[in-house]
Amino acid sequence: MVQRRCRYCERAFQPSKFQPGQSVCSESACQRRRRCDNHRRRIASDPEYQQVCQDNSRKWRTRNPEYWRRRRESHPAIVERNRQQQRVRDQRRRLRNLANNNSAFDLKHSAAQVWLVGVSLEHLANNNSAPAQVWVLETLPPRRGPQTESCQQQRSGIHRVSAG
Ligand SMILES: [Zn+2]
């Protein structure tokens, strides 16, 4: 019997004899992802299908005007997650624009340091995919406070941060 590895969960499964080319196992989560991916691909490649989907969701919104407001009210965690994901998408778009040098007319040399924060940074050295985030942090201005800090405080690594 031929076993396959599911494209999503990577578990071995037995393809259906009715679907010899099956590449996704029958777990409902994997099937949902497969349908969702197919839908997305088809929307991107088939303008007629895209139009039908847009019409359907517009009709649905007209019939259910309160749905999204009620859903936002009853699922604040989802709202927050969506907001964060949107922020990440916005950030990615800005970085892409920067890379295309479209919206970076006033780029100046910056003394800021780039910190790479993430668990998979060793991939960077191998020039593989680096799923870590890049944080560009402005460097702090040099400390100008009175030189009264004792050596003990500096050695302990505790630095006071002035509020404001
Ligand atoms: Zn699977």
C-alpha of residue 128 to centroid of ligand 1, in Å:
26
Q: Tell me: the pLDDT tens digits for 33-61?
A: 999 999 999 999 999 999 999 999 999 99
C-alpha of residue 7 to centroid of ligand 1, in Å:
7
Burial tier of 25 (Cβ tally within 10 Å: 0-12, 13-18, 19+): buried
C-alpha of residue 22 to centroid of ligand 1, in Å:
11
Q: What's the mean pLDDT in 123-151?
A: 54
Segment of 11-20, 131-140, 153-162 carrying the highest mean pLDDT: 11-20
Please tell me the distance from the alpha carbon of residue 39 to that of residue 51, in angstroms, as a whole number: 13
- In sequence order, the 6+-apart residues with CB closer than 8 A to the CB of 21 are 15
Helices 28-45 and 47-63: angle between axes, nearest 10 degrees: 110
Reported pTM: 0.45
Q: What is residue 147's predicted lDDT score, i.e. its pLDDT?
A: 47
C-alpha of residue 23 to centroid of ligand 1, in Å:
9
